[in-house]
Amino acid sequence: MIRELPDLAATEAWAQGFTGLKPIPGVMYLQGDLGAGKTALARALIHALGYSAVVRSPTYTLVEEYDTAAGTVLHLDLYRLVEAEELEYIGLRDYLQKDALWLVEWPERALAYLPPADLRIEMALAAAGAHRLEAEALSARGSEWLAALTAASESLAEHA
pLDDT above 60: residue 11: yes
Q: Which one is the CATH code of 2-159: 3.30.70.100, 3.30.420.40, 3.40.50.11310, 3.40.50.300?
A: 3.40.50.300
pLDDT of residue 154: 65
Average pLDDT over residues 124-142: 89
Residues in CB range of 22: below 8 A, 6 or more apart: 70
pLDDT above 80: residue 20: no
Look up the pTM and report it: 0.90
What confidence tens digit (pLDDT) does each residue in 89-124 have? 888 888 888 899 999 999 999 999 999 999 999 999
pLDDT above 60: residue 157: no
pLDDT of residue 29: 97
Neighbours of 112 (CB within 10 A): 7
What confidence tens digit (pLDDT) does each residue in 63-77 have? 999 999 889 999 999
